Structures are given as C-alpha cells and as structure tokens.
Structure 1
C-alpha cells in the first residue's frame, strides 16, 4: 500500500441522467507528466470515465466501486450523485468522509439537502466548498461546519465558539444549532 497525502484524484457531481454538474480532477504536483501518464488528460476522457462510473453505480446500493482501476465512492442526494475518486489502494473510509464533508457543508450553506437547481443557482458556493475541502488532491478539512464557516468567511471568534459548542452536543442537535447560527447571521446581514 502506498501512503500519500494526495488521496483524491477527482471529485464530480452528476445529475440523475448522468450529466455533469461539477467536476474537478487532480494530479499531484510532484509527479512529472513524462514519468506518469494521467489518463484524464482531456475533457472527453473525463466524460467517458464519468459515464462509466455512472453506469456502474446508478441505482445500486453500493457506495464503493472500482471503475477502471480507480476506487469510486458515491453519495446520492435527491436528484444528484456526489463522487470522489481515489487510487485503487486508497482507504474508502477516507474517500467517503471527504465526499460526505462536501455534501454536508453544502447542506449547511444551502439550509437543506441541495437539489440540482439550487446547486446550479449557488455554483460559487459549490466551487468554494470543494476548494476549502480539497487542494491538489489533498484533503484539507473534513468538518462540514468549519468548511461552511470558511466559505462564508465567518468571524473566527464565532466559528471557534460554534465548534466548541458542537463538540459538546450530539450530531443532530449540533446540525440544528449550526443551521440556527447561519440563519441568525443571515438576518444580521453578516454575509
């Protein structure tokens, strides 16, 4: 098993018909392109891979699949599927945590489970959320509250207080508290 910080090779979101909503592919910066051939060099190759992933994972109960020698973790929402791709020997729990972090941060930011229309209307938030979670294939953060706080540029004292409160509560109550805090900030015009 090869251990590396560069765990993520791609993150993409497809709708219920397999069409791309968002995609971002990563190549580790220390890998020389002459030594390592990245199979996703063109948009056509990316789209072909996404189509193969969609065909294998759509309407199945499998969250983890191996497609074209890549480990793929999928999380479905209302009318979309969030995918994270890693190497075949990558830890699937790490990949699952990453994709759930992106989805959960978007739920916090959009105040509910995002659908395709809402996500497209708030595309900037989606891009910032992914960028705050993954950089060059390295997972930077896995806490959805911290990711959402960074995306919205919450003041550090409020973010730290929110994090300490959440550590003392259960998941569902902390999620509700986070939603209440975001609603309060919107009403105050803090965004």
Structure 2
C-alpha cells in the first residue's frame, strides 16, 4: 500500500562519471522540518535523506553506477529507491526518490535537468563542461528542486534563469540624483521593472 504523499519528492540529484565512477555533483535533500513525532535522526519519513553520512552516500553511488552502467531502461528500483537516470556522453544524471514516488514525475525532473544542461552547454554536456561550469549546474538544479520539492521542469525557463546576462555596472555615485524628485523617479522606475518582471513570470 502506498505511503503518505509528500511534496518532498526528490531524495537526491547525482551526476556521476561513467569513466571512473567518481562523483561530479551530488545533492541530497531532507525537508527542513521533520514531521512531529519523528526521532531526531530518523530517515524513514517521506522526503527524509536516507543517506545522512558521506560514507553512506558514496556506497550508494558506487553501487548505483555499477547497477545502471549497463542498463537499457531509464528507471530502476535500487536500495528500495526509485531511481531515474539519463546518460550524456561520459556522465550519468540521476534523480532519486522514495519507493512510493511517482516515476513519471521523477523522470520529468531528470529530463528537465538533461535538457537545461543541453541548452546551457549547447548540447555538449560532459564531465569537463560540468566541472568548468559547476556554478551553472548547481544553479540549474536549485531552479528545479528546493529541499526535495520540485519547482520547475521547463528546461527553457531553467536555462534562461541561470544564464541571464549580468546586470550593467552600478552607475557612478556622482550621477545619482538624490533630490526628492530623483528618488521618486527611481522608485517609479523600480515599480515598473518589478511589474514587468511579474508579468513575464519571473
């Protein structure tokens, strides 16, 4: 019988090397607040991180890549977890959820990650591009998932938020009008920009 539904769908996002089976990126999630009545270090409630120590995480990852390296399907049950994965060149992208989690939901997350990285790296998603652009990868994953909650699965939206052009330099302090009218103008400009941003769904 399925367990209680939880917003905290994702236990972990992993990017592992298929060459030497090393960890390139790993993020394990736990809800910020365990449910009432849960033991202090419990890992058996929905969304809890099942691998709280680095040693446990590395053991899980080693077994996972050995299991999936020669798989033809993209979804497996491993260590009582639903794992969806995609291979890109010399890396494997994984999204891990609990055994009761919806596979289609998790699969959409791994596809969103793969496609967002494909947009950011212009199709060249490999170990080198991930290591050289680690900040973009981390930001993209943060756009998709927060505390294990899936926020966004549109790769175009994810990539556009991560790769937005830097804001122009702050204007020279001498050119700032600090009169009452100047401050009012700045306030109006800020309000207009905020309204535009909200309309564009930022």
Q: Fold-level match, TM-score > 0.5? A: yes
Residues 1:13 and 2:19 aligned together:
no
Match of 1:101 among 91, 109, 112: 112
Kept in 1: contact 2:11–2:50 (CA 8 A) = no
Q: Map 1:47-86 onto structure 2 (within 5 A).
A: 47-86=58-97
Aligned residues: 160
Match of 1:124 among 123, 126, 135: 135
Shift of 1:18: 1.3
Unaligned runs of 5+ residues in structure 1 are 162-191
Q: For residues 43 and 86 of structure 1, what CA distance do their matches in structure 2 show? A: 18
Match of 2:163 among 148, 152, 166: 152
Q: For residues 26 and 57 of structure 1, what CA distance do their matches in structure 2 show? A: 22
Unaligned runs of 5+ residues in structure 2 are 44-48, 166-192
Residues 47/134 of structure 1: CA separation in 2 closer, same or farther (3 Å cut): same
Match of 1:34 among 40, 48, 73: 40
Residues 51/128 of structure 1: CA separation in 2 closer, same or farther (3 Å cut): same
Shift of 1:36: 2.0
**SS of equivalent residue, structure 1 residue 128:** helix
Shift of 1:120: 0.7
Shift of 1:24: 0.1
Residues 71/123 of structure 1: CA separation in 2 closer, same or farther (3 Å cut): same
> TM-score under structure 2 normalisation?
0.74
Q: For residues 15 and 102 of structure 1, what CA distance do their matches in structure 2 show? A: 16
Kept in 1: contact 2:14–2:27 (CA 8 A) = yes
Shift of 1:41: 1.4
Q: For residues 18 and 56 of structure 1, what CA distance do their matches in structure 2 show? A: 11
Kept in 1: contact 2:82–2:101 (CA 8 A) = yes
Q: Residue 176 of structure 2 corresponds to which residue in structure 1?
A: none
Shift of 1:35: 6.4
Shift of 1:67: 1.1
> TM-score under structure 1 normalisation?
0.78
Residues 101/33 of structure 1: CA separation in 2 closer, same or farther (3 Å cut): farther
Q: Deviations over 1:135-188 (max 9, x none)?
A: 00001100001001111236977x959xxxxxxxxxxxxxxxxxxxxxxxxxxx
Q: Residue 4 of structure 1 corresponds to which residue in structure 2?
A: 6
Q: For residues 82 and 124 of structure 2, what CA distance do their matches in structure 1 show? A: 25
Shift of 1:62: 1.9
